[in-house]
């Protein structure tokens, strides 16, 4: 399904390390993968709610 969605794409995918993207890149000459870490985890430590704990 990922292969179909990205058919014709050429470039770098910036991902959270989801393994199927790496598998896709391994079998493609047109796609590279750059893992950016878990984006949800990084943004969850910064909340607009002042009652929540400050990030460390």
pLDDT tens, position by position, 12-44: 999 888 889 989 999 999 999 998 866 555 555
Q: What is the pTM of this model?
A: 0.54
What is the average per-residue pLDDT within 3-15? Answer: 92
pLDDT of residue 36: 82
pLDDT of residue 55: 55
Q: With beta carbons less than 8 A apart as the criterion, state whether 12 and 32 touch.
A: yes
Give how far Cα 24 sits from Cα of 1, 7, 14, 17, 37, Å: 11, 11, 13, 12, 18
pLDDT digits (tens, 9 = 90+) for 42-53: 555 555 555 555
Q: With beta carbons less than 8 A apart as the criterion, state whether 18 and 40 touch.
A: no
pLDDT at 1 over 90: no
Q: With beta carbons less than 8 A apart as the criterion, state whether 6 and 31 touch.
A: yes
């Amino acid at each position: 399904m990922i292969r179909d969605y990205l058919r014709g794409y050429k470039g770098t995918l910036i991902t959270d390390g989801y393994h199927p993207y790496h598998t896709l890149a391994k079998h493609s000459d047109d796609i590279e993968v750059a893992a950016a870490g878990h984006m949800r985890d990084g943004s969850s430590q910064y909340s607009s709610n002042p009652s929540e704990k400050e990030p460390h």
